[in-house]
Structure 1
């Protein structure tokens, strides 16, 4: 199985979310220069991608696709939390209480689904938003990479981490 598009870390914010993220980063920087918006937006994409890798979750809802093999057993989709799965013929789908998406299918297919904690930037929990803004501001202010990432960034994200000692299995 392989994520084709939209999985954790593959972030490009939409226009409204990018504008909100840029505003949050500029507030963190106490800066107002519009000429830096493109760079700050790109750094916000990077910060969200890193937050997704740390938390193990997709932050802002987006469509993703995964190639899944045929099988009678339940197979877990590779991103969480899943909000919706596009059903196809000969496919059984389910989303459990932990936001994990599951499929069973008679033939191998590409499964399209939507995953994300929040529908948009404003819907993200405050700790995730603040950590992303702080990291993007840090990346902007210290482009020479001479200082470590503020510890507060990971501290803000820690409550949202998903850790699994074994892969998900479903009977």
Structure 2
């Protein structure tokens, strides 16, 4: 499972200020670069822990099967829409009686389509993420992202080296892994 950074909410000024405080910077000349590095750090965090940090809408397209199918992102907060997708890409909202849905205690979302004629693909729209906003992200995840953004900033000129292991130590308790 890989999270894509394109729908990540904008980095708030307060979070950029945390990175600047960590780096002991008192100017605003590099704020855009810091925001970009912070976005990269958050993206890496999400991929490391296997969960989305900030709740946001997600849409999965999947083939129709007569069994429960797991949604790709977590933790799922709510499943909001299930649509039948025609071969030409047109989507039609399915009535609630056409499918079942479930969200496990670990935040995994599931959808099962009841027998429906002429439906071969579905699109499921749902909300997934640990926190409603940056202020409510767990402190260890937030601090790890700030430290990683600081590391990326100080090594932006191509210096080699591994990020501090303290970052993964902060994130590891939140990590959700899939066993194959």
TM-score, normalised on structure 2? Answer: 0.82
Change (3 A) 1:87 1:12: closer
CA distance in structure 2 between the aligned counterparts of 1:145 and 1:104, rounded to whole angstroms: 49
RMSD between aligned alpha carbons? 1.8
Alpha-carbon distance in structure 1 between the residues aligned to 2:14 and 2:6: 15
* Residues 83, 126 of structure 1: alpha-carbon distance in 2 compared, 3 angstrom cutoff: same
Residue 147 of structure 1, CA deviation: 2.6
Unaligned runs of 5+ in 1: 167-171
Q: SS at the partner of 1:86?
A: strand
Within the alignment, does 1:114 sit opposite 2:127 as a pair?
yes
Distance of 1:131 and 1:124 partners within structure 2: 11
- In the other structure, the counterpart of 2:45 is 51
Residue 150 of structure 1: aligned partner: 164
Q: Distance in 2 between matches of 1:11 and 1:81?
A: 18
Q: Does 1:104 align with 2:112?
A: yes
- Tell me if the contact between 1:12 and 1:45 (Cα under 8 Å) persists in the aligned partners: no
Task: Give the gaps of 5 or more residues in structure 2.
Answer: 83-93
- Superposed CA offset, 1:136-164 (max 9, x none): 00000111232320110011001011122
- Which structure is larger by alpha-carbon Rg, 1 or 2? 2
| 1:76-126 CA distance string (max 9 Å, x none) | 000110011113322321111110010012432111111101111111111
Q: Does 1:162 align with 2:176?
A: yes
| Secondary structure at the counterpart of residue 68 of structure 2 | strand
Give the TM-score normalised by structure 1.
Answer: 0.86
Structure 1 residue ranges, 4+ long, deviating more than 4 angstroms after superposition: none
SS in 1 for 2:124: strand
**TM alignment of 1:1-171, pairs within 5 A:** 8-11=3-6, 13-15=8-10, 17-88=11-82, 89=94, 90-105=98-113, 106=116, 107=119, 108-143=121-156, 144-166=158-180
SS in 2 for 1:109: strand
Matches of 2:127 and 2:133 in 1, distance apart?
13
